[in-house]
Structure 1
Amino acid sequence: MSTPIGRRSVLAGALGLAGAAALPAALRAESERLRVVWWGNDDRTRRTLEVLKLYQAKAQGAELVGEVSNAEYFPKLATQLVGRNAPDIFQLEPGSFADFVQRGATLPLDDLMPQPIDTSGISRDLLDLCSLDGKVWGIPHGLNSFALMYDTAVFKAAGIAPPDEKTSWDDYADRMAELTKAAGRDQYWGSCDASGYGYAFQVWLRQRGADLFTADRTLGFSQDHAAEWFSYWDKMRQRGGCVPADIAALSPDSTITQMPLIQGKAATSLAFSNQIVGMQSATQVPLALTMYPNGGPGAKPGQFYRPATCWSIYARCKAPEAAAGFIAFFLSDPEAVKVLGVERGVPMAPAVRELILPTLKPVERATIDYVNFIADKVGPYPPPPPKGSQQFGRVMKRVADTVAFGNASISDGAAHLIADAGAIL
């Protein structure tokens, strides 16, 4: 089970670089063909492919086949798992991790540590980010948290202070409505519409002492919680503080290219801290990041540290030692970590962070500063979600859109969310 992550464990956790220049035995004479899949924008793909080339150059006889997909990633992976032809190494994240583990899709990695995956310097707190029922099923690429991204230039031009860690949800709504008017642009609003973002809903719930799921893997929120959330965004729409339903419908999740902020239709976006790297590469406007709005006086912390993504190994992988060797290379090879930077999150190891710091651009360094800044403002990592939870985001978005378009009342939408979310578990 997961354990709380505090300031000390996050900043002191380490995946040692000792001996990183020497390839693991599984890499030195490997003739297996390994398929590696991930999702992400062009910047992530470029970095990942470069590391795959480095691996093949250093590992005699190794052959890697890299595959990237986005909107179809999880449905495609699920289909491949059913057909027993899934890739050897695949990328997961907190919302999907436990679901795939409980479906028997992933290999427990405990027997592959500390060799070829050297975890001698990594704290158990960090390993628990990808643990379930006492076993490790994935190796996190790096740490991140939720982050509100914003266009610094539009706030400066409007003479309005951008959101910060002291901004409440009510303050945020007021400021976004004010910014929409002050910006005076056609088809431009202060905020994205996050009513269908399950991850944003989770932060909001935790500020109220609830969560998406409970420790016994059932729904952790009520119909009243859902109604209050939908009502908040409905009022934002009515005031012109966030994008309207037709634009929000085209922004189904945190996919960078579909964000209203990146498309030049909004000044802010609720996303994840590591995404600022890819977002900045996709837009000319200067970006900065801060925490999500807070719950007001007396509220609990809503944010927590999370693994941005992780590598897991297919349960039926024919060469698990070789797959584990690649993961070790990806996380600790000096050349590899410099290529990867912080695009997948802040490296877990202080030694890795120190190694890459001189190579980082200002926007990349900002992610490390942000992860350090929120260390005393985050809550514990949530319990593992139940089987079927990976579908929650799609359910949430579908119901939120029906409310946004006026095809369901707020109360009916809340009831549908409870019923539909319960049905997938």
Structure 2
Amino acid sequence: MSLKLAIVGGGSTYTPELIDGFARLRDTLPIGELVLVDPAADRLELVGGVARRIFAKQGHPATVTTTGDLDAAVADADAVLLQLRVGGQAARNKDETWPLECGCVGQETTGAGGLAKALRTVPVVLDIAERVRRANPDAWIVDFTNPVGIVTRALQTAGHKAVGLCNVAIGFQRKFAAQLGVAPELVRLDHVGLNHLTWERGVTLLDAPGAATGREVLPELLAGFGDAIAADLHLPLPLVRRLGVVPSYYLRYYYQHDAVVAELREQGSRAAQVAEIERQLLELYADPALDTKPELLAKRGGAFYSEAAVQLIGALLGTAGGSDVQVVNTRNDGILPFLPDDAVIEVPATVDAAGVRPLPQRPVEPLFAGLIAHVTAYEQLALEAALKGGRDRVLDALLAHPLVGQVELADRLADSLLAHNKQHLSWA
């Protein structure tokens, strides 16, 4: 089997990380043709060049083509991967700065900044998905575009064959495996929540890769590596031990909101740092001798995403050798009974050529379930605002967000959001 895969947003400086994974894991995902599509022709050619050289060095037989023509890129594609950023790093920089003026966290997926990104992104992604469906209704759409939960919900609500993917779970799996001194395939997570709002409630050390049996090792991880885990999360160790779980590092925006706001005001935006990293990466990519992913790419973010993407796409397309359990973003359908069926949750699921089936979950503790339900309500309102527009819908979403909630604050944030995003919102 030889597959065609298209990457929308292929001109991203992160793409060589994906290429490296595709090259190393070719037996799991036998790509014959890879198409990188992006409107930024200058970046696209630099990224395409280094992608071809990485494949050539590792002896991968796939052809790599670049284009600005979306319809040509997705024609006959078996899977389409979305990793676009509407407005680029400039829009991200705004998302991470203007909320701070109102005393709220400035972040590209959380809070008011995350809402702004959703409003810009959802209409664009739905247009892309419709063109994919016209080209090949059997193609899978794998979304890595943030905010993944809201974007995946938009795709699934519109009837697209789509699943969302984030690297948080695989990152924890790899870190826990390293701490335990075992292969990552022996570590299975009890991972529950929403995209960028998750907790590891358990860590099972399997008796063998893919085994149904194993032993719970989260308590010994917290006992033996608590300091390192807490430092990695930028959360106090006493809090982590009190919770008895490992929260995603995004939970810091909720558990220590005011402290994070103070830090962000002092340190400046992550977007500015990423923009500088991207400038340096593009200079490296222009070197015709570069045929491996540069070390600097590790600072760009998204660690282990290539491995997660290969595992997911390979399972969906039937090239990975049967079913696999992977953490994905998909429709709830009663898995978390306190949420609507059409909510998108992030949990382990059985993935194979028949699709994605989330695994049953034990009852979620009230401390976590309350926040999950609260953010789910916000995400529903955020999606309505993205689909229908209107300042009132933006205000409703902000009022529903647990990091906003006050009408005067929501009013100020709504005005700032619209002022900074008019060029990207057709209705503003």
Same fold (TM over 0.5): no
Task: Give the number of the structure whose residues are more often strand, by fraction.
Answer: 2
Of structures 1 and 2, the one scoring higher in RCO (CA 8 A, sep 6+) is 1
- TM superposition score normalised by structure 2: 0.33
